[in-house]
A and B are shown apart, each in its own frame.
Chain A
Amino acid sequence: MREITYDQAALEAIQEEFRRNPKTVHLSTDVPLDLQAEFGAERIRGTPISESGFVGAAIGLAGSGFRTVVNIRMATFAFVAMDQLINHAAKITYMFGGQAKFPILYRMTVGAGISAAAEHSISPYSMYMNAPGLKIILPTTPYDIKGLFRTAFNDTNPVISFEHTAFGNLKGEVPEYDYSIPFGQANIRREGSDVTVVALAKMVYEALAAATELEKTGISLEVIDPRTLVPLDHETIKSSVRKTGRLIVVDEACPTCGATAEIVSLVTTDKSTFARLKSPPVRICGLEVPIPFSPPLEKHVIPDKDRIIRAVRELVSEPVSEY
């Protein structure tokens, strides 16, 4: 199968949708020139650096029958437009009693690792998980981003796509035929029997690397990528934990009120899953600090393969607790 990059796969999904549906508009400060050449400057519109303005404009376009893709670039810039995202995009369908639909795809990059310092590095998906009305996707492969975008384009709600900064040039197999990936369907990236590792965004790759290394010592990890956080695939996670009896959740966001807390909670509040736990779940998260600039500092605050390996070793060496 052909291989393309994550960014190419995303653009291809947008291009296909814009060919299918003339009532589509793309807003971004950096104009995707190929799309503009094909669809014109009215639909592929370059915007000023005016986040509240264009994030809100997407809502007005949506309420007027247009589907809009908004590339906000970094998730830290979206905070400028938080009023439009939370007070309006998230609430408007409900507040107006469902009389209109708001099909919008908001894209933003997340994560650290490029020495961009605190104001250009963050993984804030849990903040948005707290605002009912938004759907949240977290694509980690070229295949996934294209398939999830396809689903977003069939959805009539605001969808936020959080895309790790490290993924843009990531290559992977993407079929040329039309396909979609449903929201709420986790991907078991690697099957295993000893420990379930649910990993988010770039941590999926750290978890896979840890699994490869631990396999050599006879420890088997099952690595799950939820792919979407709202809706979240509870069943795949719970059934994996029922099988392995151990859970590690890895995310580079801070632990407090994070997506990792939600995932641990869905496991521990489920009676039959809880009963199968051999040890308390473990969270491996970014340290509770803004992201620092200096490379060794940044490396220290973000989880990696080694932290996962240490946690797994500790977990499997513990005597099985008696609940």
Chain B
Amino acid sequence: MNISREQMLRLYTTMLTIRRFEERVAREYYAGNIAGFVHSYIGEEAIATGVCAHLDKEDRLVSHHRGHGHCIAKGADMRRMMGEIYGKRTGYCKGKGGSMHIADFSIGMLGADGIVGAGLPIAVGAAMASQLEKRHKVVAVFFGDGACNEGEFHEALNLAGIWKLPLLFVCENNQYGVNTHYKAAMAAQEITRIPEAYHIRNQSVDGNDVLAVYEAAGEAISRLREGEGPYFLECMTYRWHKHFLSNYLPDLRPQAELESWKKKDPIPAFQSRLLNQGILTVEKIQEIETKIATQVEEAVKFALESPYPEPEDALEDVYSG
């Protein structure tokens, strides 16, 4: 695979940034400082990182409720993300969306949808726009295994297929819809059988191996840019937290399974590899950690110091002018 040292360092840094951001969000959530629902991306960082490394600003992305990683990997400002997660006026959505609904249209991040599968038809439309613009831009839509049993998912595959849209389907198969294993929920048993039935090129990769994701996404996206039609990438992974952060939601997944997946943590594996190749050094790792810690700290500080919206702001933005 053709990948530069700089790119490898960027992949490492992005994954680690998502991890540290999410760790901090979880800490603040459990400390009672964040309201509502937070769906943690910890464990799945390699996917957003490997895919978004191939997207430029004019490529679009549609995300879902577990969307912080996609935002960071697409280049969103962590301060405004944290502002949103804290419900502050300075957040990306002025505090009207929260953790589940972060969007930054200025970087092609068309937002996170909290209804499972619902982002897929929206991504179809975004890909139609890219196709009509004829500038070889693509759209990546992220969704989980749970979305694959929704009707909107099947409609989106069909539409992307018949219209040969430049749409990359990225299935983050973390294997559970809340507590239901995907094999108990899916007659096809293997997710790639579904795009196969729709005659959409597809591949399943280790979603905890950032280079595997990077390589597969790179090939898929270059084909998309050439107008070869949609591509379906399944990334096998596992989430470390419960469906959403909660003291009450039960986690019915086998503990041993969770532990075994934690051993497949995408970050240390990649770090060792970079150390072995001399791309990273212990000092460099520390430098990156310090930089990220500062950024996350600044994001939290920004959120804390930002004002809440005024009550009357509730009436704004129902319609655009």
The chain A residues found within 8 Å of chain B, CB to CB, are: 23, 25, 42-43, 45, 47-48, 50, 52-66, 68, 83-84, 87-88, 92-102, 132-133, 135, 156-157
Interchain nearest-CB distance for A121 vs B (Å)? 24
Task: Indicate whether A95 sits within 8 Å of B93 (C-beta atoms), given known contacts A60-B122, A84-B118.
Answer: yes
Complex contact A59–B132 (CB within 8 A): no
Say yes or no: A42-B62 contact (C-beta < 8 A), given A56-B120, A64-B110: no
Which of B91, B122, B151 is the one whose CB lies under 8 Å from A97? B91
Chain B: minimal CB distance from A152 (Å): 13
Known: A99-B106, A133-B319. 15 other contacts (CB 8 A): A48-B158, A53-B155, A56-B156, A60-B123, A60-B125, A61-B125, A64-B60, A65-B129, A84-B152, A88-B113, A93-B319, A94-B318, A95-B93, A96-B93, A101-B320
The reply on B97 being an interface residue by CB < 8 A is: yes
Q: Tell me which residues across on chain A come within 8 A of B317, comparing CB atoms.
A: 93-94, 97-98
In the complex, are the beta carbons of A53 and B124 less than 8 A apart? yes
Q: Which residue of A lies closest to B108 (CB)?
A: A64
The CA-CA distance from A20 to B205 in the complex, in Å, is 46
- Nearest opposing residue in chain A for B167, CB measure: A60
B101 at the interface (CB under 8 A from A): yes
Chain B interfacial residues counted at CB < 8 A: 46
Q: Do B97 and A96 have beta carbons less than 8 Å apart? A: yes
Which residues of B does A touch, CB under 8 Å?
A: 60, 62, 91-97, 101, 103-106, 110-111, 113, 115, 118, 120-132, 151-152, 155-156, 158-159, 162-163, 316-321
Contact of A96 with B155 in the complex, beta carbons under 8 Å? no
A residues within 8 A CB of B163? Answer: 45
From known contacts A61-B129, A98-B317, infer whether A53 and B93 are also in contact, taking CB-CB under 8 Å.
Answer: no
Q: List 28 A-B contacts (CB under 8 A).
A: A45-B163, A52-B155, A54-B121, A56-B118, A56-B120, A56-B124, A56-B125, A56-B152, A57-B125, A59-B121, A60-B110, A60-B125, A61-B129, A63-B110, A64-B60, A66-B132, A87-B115, A88-B113, A95-B93, A95-B97, A96-B92, A96-B101, A96-B103, A96-B105, A97-B94, A98-B316, A99-B106, A102-B320
Whether the pair B132, A43 counts as a contact (CB closer than 8 A) is yes
Within the complex, what minimum Cβ distance (angstroms) separates A42 from chain B?
Answer: 6
- Interchain residue pairs A-B with the least CB separation, the first 6: A60-B125, A56-B121, A53-B155, A64-B129, A98-B317, A97-B93
Q: How far is the CA of A88 from the CA of B152 in the complex (A)?
A: 13
